[in-house]
Amino acid sequence: MGKDWAASVNRIFRTISGSKRVDKVPFLAFAGEQMICRVTGKTVKELYSSPKVYTNAIISTFEFLNTDSINVPSAYAGPTEALAFAEANNKLDAIKWFDYKPLMCKQGVICKTEEDIDKLEIPDHSKNNLWKNSLLTAKMINEKIKFPQVISLSIWSVVQELRGIDAYKDMRRNPDLLLKLCEKIYQSQMDIYENWLEIVGMPPNVFIAGYSFNRHMMSFQDSMRYEGQFIKRMMNKIKVPFMLHNCGTSPYFTEVVKEIDFIAVNGSHPLDIEYWIDFKKKHPKIAIIGANIDVSREMLWGSPSDVEKKVKENILNLAPGGRYICCPVCSLPWGVSIPNILAIPKAIEKYGNYPIKMN
Amino acid sequence: MTANESLEKLKQAIIQGDSQKAILLVKESNEMGIQVKEILNRAILKGAEEAGKLYEEGEYFLPDLLMTGDAINAATEILKSSFDLKSEIETKGTILIGTVEGDIHDLGKSLVVSLLKGQGFDVVDLGSDVPPEEFLRNAKEINPKLIGLSGLMTMSISKMIETVNLLKSENIQSRIIVGGGILSKESCEMIGADDFAKDGWEGIKKINKLI
């Protein structure tokens, strides 16, 4: 029997909205290009070459991993957006392709100088092949398994790709220049959204990759200035609930949810479960996707039983009352063992059926 | 202005990351006949130390440290051009550093490079996306006291393992530190490095301990 995606759709979206009609804790995973290549044996360029090939590869990978979630890894404002900017500004030498992992952008090459920022052309995403195929793939997934695809947008992730380390110096020596870059990236994100609307349709949620909200990168005030204010503007235009992703090691989750109305937060740090218990107590209406399961720890170095312990700890502490989704953060790396990934849905089956049995 | 006042002003310029002011004050200190060692230790290094303290206390953030790093480099460049720096101060040693192959992130590494140079280390920065063989070739050529491997992504851990294995198989004796937010004690042991740092400032402190 094939996977029951309808059940997964209900599980995920009902959990996020706080519905009590959820059978068990959902399992969300970020299977990026690396994992899809590993499972299907295809190269990244093969995946990207055809929405049909890409759709089938994504579905078979997520089904193999037994997740409740599914997404198109390249339909995200990270490397794909850097590629779009590189193409629009004739700077493709900034892009490096790999066979079995996503493309990379040499940070700081596209906007090396002030003039580069002044003259930076905003990409037309309808003309970028990778974006076009990624959006068509999202549409095909919607059609094939009826799983509404969530749009992922970001400001700071793209700033880092385009401006690199100079962006951090700009904060002190030329904030207006940095804001000018942020504004252009905002316009570009809205162009992605317009294309998404046209090709995929209205997304159920926006998933913000809010990398600026990290203490080791900048002050909270700066993160609001260079990313937060643009997210608020997105919210005024895109009238669906927003979720915040942050896979950094010192996130400002507590601070940011006071300023911006997110319905869910997604991250693994802090790794202390007590932080997440406290977060849930203080913000009962915000779903937690993740908590303290990090792909570079138990998932990578531990055994399936180590992973099971971690999942159990999370479920017993965070699932009662709902609004908890089990999720290792961030993207599943090449080297993580498949039994460790599969240990998550197994542990959910053991401990995560509602009502949660505390003993 | 007395020598003490001049050094104090220079220290403040370093803390504030004001490169232009730091350059002027180094020149001024030079004209006043203040010894290079005094300028370095009492103003430049002291300023770096205090900026680091502010970072640890949550008063400063990465942008501030980067500006301090720039000011340190600007000040030491002037010192180098004004004096025969090497004859007055011995280098603390050579450090070879780079972001491992397949990873192009260099935020933490850039901070480390900038502050290490200011602290009197000779730093050979191989940049980002550096293959293991490139680390090896340079290690053989310059015989560094320490090799720093940086990486942001989880996938970089396997490349760190590959690089460390290659260096050790070729009998490279340098201490090895790995840096990146993804690292833990377990991953450091698995990689076979002498130590790890989760961010640039921690890297600076640990490198100073290792050498």
Joined together, the tokens standing for residue A17 give 């909205």
Residues of chain B neighbouring A249 (CB-CB closer than 8 A) = 181, 198
* Closest CB to A248 among B103, B153, B181: B181
Residues of chain B neighbouring A306 (CB-CB closer than 8 A) = none
Report the run of H or E that residue A196 belongs to, with start and end: helix A175-199
**Closest alpha carbon to A272 in A306, A310, A243, A307:** A310
Phi, psi of B60 (to 5 degrees): -110, 155
* Closest CB to B155 among A34, A96, A249: A34
Residues of chain B neighbouring A216 (CB-CB closer than 8 A) = 62, 181, 199
Residue B84 has pLDDT above 70, yes or no: no
CA A187 to chain centre: 20
User: Alpha helix (H) ranges present in chain B?
Assistant: 3-16, 19-31, 36-38, 46-56, 62-82, 85-88, 107-118, 132-142, 156-169, 185-191, 200-210
Mean pLDDT of chain A: 96
Higher per-residue confidence, B109 vs A53 = A53
Q: How many CA atoms lie within 13 A of A183 on its CB side?
A: 8
What are the residues of chain A with a beta carbon less than 8 Å away from any beta carbon of chain B?
Answer: 34, 96, 98, 101, 104-107, 160, 164-165, 168-169, 171-173, 215-219, 222, 248-249, 295-297, 300-301, 330-331, 333-336
Instruction: Please name every residue paired with B175 in a beta bridge, in sequence order, or none if there are none.
Output: B146
Read off the pLDDT band of A210 (50, 70, 90): very high
Read off the pLDDT band of A278 (50, 70, 90): very high
pLDDT (mean) for A198-219: 96
Higher per-residue confidence, B151 vs A233 = A233
Q: How many CA atoms lie within 13 A of A15 on its CB side?
A: 33
Gyration radius from chain B CA atoms: 18
Mean pLDDT of chain B: 90
A135-179 confidence digits (pLDDT tens)? 999 999 999 999 999 999 999 999 999 999 999 999 999 999 999
Question: Looking at this predicted complex, what is its ipTM?
Answer: 0.92
Under 8 Å CB-to-CB from A108, ≥6 apart: which residues?
A: A162, A163, A164, A165, A166
pLDDT for the residue numbered B115:
85
CB B93 within 8 A of CB B121: yes
> CB pairs below 8 Å between A and B: how many?
85
Rounded Cα distance between A126 and A195, Å, is 7
pLDDT (mean) for B37-45: 89
Amino acid found at A321: G
Residues of chain A neighbouring B61 (CB-CB closer than 8 A) = 215, 217-219, 222
- DSSP, collapsed to helix, strand or coil, labels residue A263 as strand
Shortest Cα–Cα distance, A335 to chain B (Å) = 7
Q: Which residue of A has its CA nearest to B18?
A: A173
* Closest CB to B107 among A104, A165, A172: A165
Which of A186-200, A277-291, B102-116 is least confident? Answer: B102-116
Q: Which residue of A has its CA nearest to B108?
A: A165
Q: How far is CA B197 from CA A170, B176, B194, in A?
A: 26, 11, 11
pLDDT (mean) for A22-48: 97
Residue A260 has pLDDT above 70, yes or no: yes
A310-320 confidence digits (pLDDT tens)? 999 999 999 99
Q: Which residue of A has its CA nearest to B155?
A: A333
Read off the pLDDT band of A269 (50, 70, 90): very high
Q: How far is CA B67 from CA A170, A321, B13, B75, B121, in A?
A: 10, 47, 10, 12, 19
CB contact under 8 A, A296 and B183: yes
Residues of chain A neighbouring B187 (CB-CB closer than 8 A) = 296, 300-301
Q: Which residue of A has its CA nearest to B200?
A: A216
Q: What percentage of chain A exceeds 70 in pLDDT?
A: 100
Phi, psi of B200 (to 5 degrees): -60, -45
Instruction: Please name every residue paired with A214 in a beta bridge, in sequence order, or none if there are none.
Output: A251
pLDDT (mean) for A257-281: 97
Amino acid found at A326: C
Write out A116-129 in H/E/C secondary structure: HHHCCCCCCHHHCH
Residue A341 has pLDDT above 80, yes or no: yes
Domains within chain B, CATH numbers bracketed: 3-88 (1.10.1240.10), 94-210 (3.40.50.280)
pLDDT for the residue numbered B76:
87
pLDDT (mean) for A34-50: 97
Under 8 Å CB-to-CB from A221, ≥6 apart: which residues?
A: none
Stated pTM of the model: 0.92
Under 8 Å CB-to-CB from A165, ≥6 apart: which residues?
A: A107, A108, B66, B106, B107, B110
Read off the pLDDT band of A234 (50, 70, 90): very high
Residue A334 has pLDDT above 90, yes or no: no
B7-25 confidence digits (pLDDT tens)? 999 999 999 999 999 999 9
pLDDT for the residue numbered B91:
77
Rounded Cα distance between A213 and B19, Å, is 28
B163-195 confidence digits (pLDDT tens)? 999 999 999 999 999 999 888 888 899 999 999
Joined together, the tokens standing for residue B60 give 């400063």
Joined together, the tokens standing for residue A15 give 């959990």
CB A271 within 8 A of CB A289: no
**Closest alpha carbon to A66 in A26, A99, A105:** A26
pLDDT (mean) for B124-131: 92
